[in-house]
Structure 1
């Protein structure tokens, strides 16, 4: 009987979060009719309607909103107990669905992925490399790694490190096109534009707390930092790229800094989770692994004098 009650609670919570029986059924791996019967059984046992249903939408009643908080607390307690037991047992199991920015993932995560999988042989990793800001709740991701500003209040964030974009070019390009001496000179150069932000061609730079905005001409525009890195290496133009993507090329002399006193504002690297769920042990382990991978990726990326504004 208790097992059935917990199943009913789980179904109600998923429907309440998504306001959709169909989406809840996908998340739970059930048929829609099964989810509907479970919620109806819960309402019948409580003697109160928790959800308002119409042909077009689902909504919470006043009683449903109050009961949702209690049900979430119950499920969180169960998840916490299971996570603690799993951590004690040492083996992480099941599928972990994670979203990682492609440049960061390919440069720093995937080369070391074997370490994580070897440490957790019973864990299945569903890894999505994309610069798209996925909806963790709607798309059923356990965790996502993001660089930059966070705006979704439904999410819980943990800062893992820092990132800063810097200006780079090949020596061959600079020999042919000349070296810019100030940010305003960039509008006369071929620029390789990373497609992030509202206006990707607007580069906001800072030096010793002083900011300057330049509108550049995009010779190449891409949402993939590593694609722009390849173009930069062969002398196509000047790029404003994350330091974690260009560090090896700078060290090897394949690229050089441009306007090296200037850089974009520092951004955070965050792990984010849905705010209404307990964080399972497998997610915590993965985030800790990512943190070791990105530790120090922003080193050397700051301007010569540290900016006063974060």
Structure 2
């Protein structure tokens, strides 16, 4: 039976018209090339070449075989390239909000890496906006409304923002019932949380500037500060679902936030959208967060 090397030798001889030239091209001896051609002809029960002392030329049967087998070899090489490009391997850099990483992704990371042993991960857990190209990040998980950009974004799930506080704090200051109550209450916040937009009882939009005696640059620290009773906090509901369930934080429902939605997005570059490692991680993120 013939093999791939025999077919490659046949194509080389057909194109060069010489056993010696084909052998030089393939990096093998002329004798080996001649043996491969003879083996192929024997397996096919066909004469593929006319031979003389100086060169070789294809027979009619050889021309038909070359036409068919050359395309097969091209397709086979492309299949090898395509299969290799689909392998999930390399180093993946991800920027993500700390609470998304710690609460949702971390518990299942070992499962993901077990399925992709050729991949390594580097997380940048941070709440600020990170420019992917400038900071050489492959992808990001972002929260809130996105501005127009050249990045490729796909919404993972909806996520409501809520005002929350510890039961101890509310027992001291009372349950806020009006917008002035919110204005006089202590708050803890992220640096960019300067104002909160609310809908008053008449469903009219109203911006309030919150008192911020303590600022935090990390969302998990903000959650802990709210639990400790240091102030009201504006949080993604998914970020504090555990605290709401256990009662260490409660939702302040006096007004409706406007807008109340802070969807979670998977964002990558136009180049990254076709990367096997980015696609694999994106599918993993969706499998974790879509259910919430």
**After TM superposition, is the score higher than 0.5?**
yes
Q: CA deviation at 1:105?
A: 1.8
Give 1:61's aligned residue. none
Paired positions, count? 213
Residue 244 in structure 1 maps to residue 242 in structure 2: no
Q: CA RMSD in A?
A: 2.5
Contact 1:84–1:281 under 8 Å retained in 2:
no
In 1: Cα distance, 2:142 partner to 2:104 partner? 14
CA 210–288 in structure 1, closer or farther in 2 if over 3 Å, else same:
farther
CA 245–177 in structure 1, closer or farther in 2 if over 3 Å, else same:
same
2:195 aligned to 202, 217, 242, which one? 202
For 1:153-211, what per-residue CA distance to the aligned partner results, in whole angstroms no more than 9, with x for missing partners? 22111111122220111111111111110233211111111233xxx220113479643
Residue 109 in structure 1 maps to residue 105 in structure 2: yes
Once the two structures are overlaid, the 10-residue window that deviates more, 101-110 or 239-248, is 101-110
In 1: Cα distance, 2:82 partner to 2:254 partner? 48
For 1:69-118, what per-residue CA distance to the aligned partner results, in whole angstroms no more than 9, with x for missing partners? xxxxxxxxxxx988851486xx5211111111222222222222122112
Contact 1:96–1:125 under 8 Å retained in 2:
yes
For 1:1-24, what per-residue CA distance to the aligned partner results, in whole angstroms no more than 9, with x for missing partners? xxxxxxxxxxxxxxxxxxxxxxxx
Give 2:206's aligned residue. 212
CA 187–278 in structure 1, closer or farther in 2 if over 3 Å, else same:
closer
Give 2:159's aligned residue. 163
2:222 aligned to 217, 228, 253, which one? 228
Q: How does 1:57-76 map to 2 (within 5 A)?
A: none
Q: TM-score, normalised by structure 1?
A: 0.62
Unmatched runs of 5 consecutive residues or more in structure 2: 1-77
Contact 1:96–1:142 under 8 Å retained in 2:
yes
Q: CA deviation at 1:263?
A: 3.1
Q: How does 1:65-214 map to 2 (within 5 A)?
A: 84-86=82-84, 91-151=87-147, 153-196=149-192, 200-206=193-199, 210-214=204-208
Residue 259 in structure 1 maps to residue 262 in structure 2: no
CA 182–295 in structure 1, closer or farther in 2 if over 3 Å, else same:
farther
For 1:54-75, what per-residue CA distance to the aligned partner results, in whole angstroms no more than 9, with x for missing partners? xxxxxxxxxxxxxxxxxxxxxx
Contact 2:95–2:140 under 8 Å retained in 1:
yes
Once the two structures are overlaid, the 10-residue window that deviates more, 148-157 or 95-104, is 148-157
In 2: Cα distance, 1:271 partner to 1:101 partner? 12
Unmatched runs of 5 consecutive residues or more in structure 1: 1-79, 298-310
